[in-house]
Each structure stands twice: as structure tokens, then as C-alpha cells.
């Protein structure tokens, strides 16, 4: 049953994205498309997986000002755990290959999301910093997995600097989203997934910081997330 649940959950994603192409084409590059799609995909996926997602600190997610959200990246199933937590007008960051994924890739592009070539790190940082004007002028938020790769439940990896450069340049707060370590375990004959608690930490302000503070900010956020994940484990 656990395997069947996972197959059904992931089969639902391209179907939902195919239907979502209609509103995405009706209002292309509107960042609120991403929030609505994330809500449907995450709730559908968790329902099919039989997974509960206890949430702490929902009130800490800013809804009245742009923020840079950073979250820990463990598995592809993060989509079902966190995609419904996007604040208004949020764009996310993904790699070039995502664009070619049937239906999902097309809505990802039409959502105005940021597409990076992670094999060229210097240009990736430049691209992240180029989003600063859009955050300030268009009041968009950005969601980033700063580890850049999946940890598969083995702890928080090393952060890349792009999101922190962007936050400081825009003067936007950083909001930390921490999903408890998980490896996709199921329980019982029904194959229901074990719950994955998530905690949203209070925003870390960046208004008084400069480029020279990036390393310290990155280390501070890494420690805050590490402590939260240890508490959630």
C-alpha cells in the first residue's frame, strides 16, 4: 500500500499541473499562481500518502511584506510537505532541467520562477542578486532551498550564499522553514506515511546588514535551523 500511495501521489502532480496550465496561461507570470498550485499539490499529495503535517509557527510567515524563505531540502516529497506554505506572491528557485518536466516544468516557467544553472555558481549568485529589484519593486517573496541538493534526511547540509546576498541587498527578512528529518517511512497495513512536523521560525531581519555580513548571517541561520531540526527529530 505504501508504494501504491506514493505512485498515486506523484501521478497526481502532472495531472494537477495540466489542469493548472489554463489559469497560468490566462495570467502568465503572476506569482500568486504558484501559491495556489502549491496549496492544491501539497494537500492532494498528503491526502494520497495518508500523511499528517503538524505545523508550528504559521504566524511567523510574513504575509504583508516580501521575505526570503529558506527551507531544508530532503527529498522530492518536500513538495507535499511544504508547497502549501508559500506566502503571497512567491517565486521559487529551480534548476534548468525542471523546465523540461512535462506540465510541471511549463507551469514552473509560467509562474515566473527563477531558473538557475547550478553548475555555474558565480552566475547563479549573480542571478539571485538580480532578483533584488523585483523583490523591492514588485513586492515578491522568494523561496529557496539553500543547500542546493537533497540531504535525504541526513541532516542540514552546507548553505550556498545566493539567497543571503539577495536578502541583504533587498533588505528583506529571512524566514526559516524547518521540516523534521524523514525518510519516507510508512506505518501500518494501510501504508500511511509517518507524520512530518514542520516549524516556521520568526523572521531574521537584514535591514541593517551589508555584503560583508553574508557569512555571519548564513552561519546564524544555519545554526537556528540546525537547532530547530534537532528539536523536531
For 25-42, write each residue's pLDDT tens digit: 999 999 899 999 999 999
Q: What is the pLDDT of residues 53-95, one digit of tens each?
A: 999 999 999 999 999 999 999 999 999 999 999 999 999 877 7
Length of the chain: 233
Give every CB contact of residue 208 below 8 A, 6+ residues apart in sequence: none
Cα separation, 83 vs 196, in Å, equals 14
204 to 3, 166, 217: CA distances (angstroms):
39, 14, 9
Residue 83 CA to residue 139 CA, distance in Å, equals: 20
pLDDT in tens, 140-187: 999 999 987 777 777 899 998 888 989 999 999 999 999 999 988 888
Looking at residue 202, its pLDDT comes to 97
Instruction: Provide the CATH number for the domain formed by 2-232 in this structure.
Output: 3.40.1130
Which of 93-110 are b and which e, b meaning 16 or more Cβ less than 10 Å from the residue's Cβ?
A: bbeeeeeeeebbbbbbbb
C-alpha cell at position 142: 522568494
> How high is the pLDDT of residue 123?
59
With a cut of 90, say whether residue 129 has pLDDT above it: no
Query: Domain spans of the chain?
Result: 2-232
Please, are residues 77 and 128 in contact by the beta-carbon 8 Å criterion? no
Question: What was the pLDDT predicted at 128?
Answer: 60
184: Cβ–Cβ under 8 A, 6 or more apart, which residues?
6, 75, 77, 193
Reduced to 3 states (helix: H, G, I; strand: E, B; else coil), residue 108 is helix
Whole-model pTM over 0.85: yes
Predicted confidence (pLDDT) at residue 126 exceeds the cutoff of 70: no
Would you place residue 137 in the very low, low, confident or very high pLDDT band (cuts 50, 70, 90)?
A: confident
Query: What is the number of alpha carbons within 13 Å of residue 209 lying toward its C-beta?
Result: 22
Whether the pLDDT of residue 118 is over 70: the answer is no
Q: What is the β-pairing status of strands 198-200 and 90-95?
A: unpaired
Amino acid at each position: 500500500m505504501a508504494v501504491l500511495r506514493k505512485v498515486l501521489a506523484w501521478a497526481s502532480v502532472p495531472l494537477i499541473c495540466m489542469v493548472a496550465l489554463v489559469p497560468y496561461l490566462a495570467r502568465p507570470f503572476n506569482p500568486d499562481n504558484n501559491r495556489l498550485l502549491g496549496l492544491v499539490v501539497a494537500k492532494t499529495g498528503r491526502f494520497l500518502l495518508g500523511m499528517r503535517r503538524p505545523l508550528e509557527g504559521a504566524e511567523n510567515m510574513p504575509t504583508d511584506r516580501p521575505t526570503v524563505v529558506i527551507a531544508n531540502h530532503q527529498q522530492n516529497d518536500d513538495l507535499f510537505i511544504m508547497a502549501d506554505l508559500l506566502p503571497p506572491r512567491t517565486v521559487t528557485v529551480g534548476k534548468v532541467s525542471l523546465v523540461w518536466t512535462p506540465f510541471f516544468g511549463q507551469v514552473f516557467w509560467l509562474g515566473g520562477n527563477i531558473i538557475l544553472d547550478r553548475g555555474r555558481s558565480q552566475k547563479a549568485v549573480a542571478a539571485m542578486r538580480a532578483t533584488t529589484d523585483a523583490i523591492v519593486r514588485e513586492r515578491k517573496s522568494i523561496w529557496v532551498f539553500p543547500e542546493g541538493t537533497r540531504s535525504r534526511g541526513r541532516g542540514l547540509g552546507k548553505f550556498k550564499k545566493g539567497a543571503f546576498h539577495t536578502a541583504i541587498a533587498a533588505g528583506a527578512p529571512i524566514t526559516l522553514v524547518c521540516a523534521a528529518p524523514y525518510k519516507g517511512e510508512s506505518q501500518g497495513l494501510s501504508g500511511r506515511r509517518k507524520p512530518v512536523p514542520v516549524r516556521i521560525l520568526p523572521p531574521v531581519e537584514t535591514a541593517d546588514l551589508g555584503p560583508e555580513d553574508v557569512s555571519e548571517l548564513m552561519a546564524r541561520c544555519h545554526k537556528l535551523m540546525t537547532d530547530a531540526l534537532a528539536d523536531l527529530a
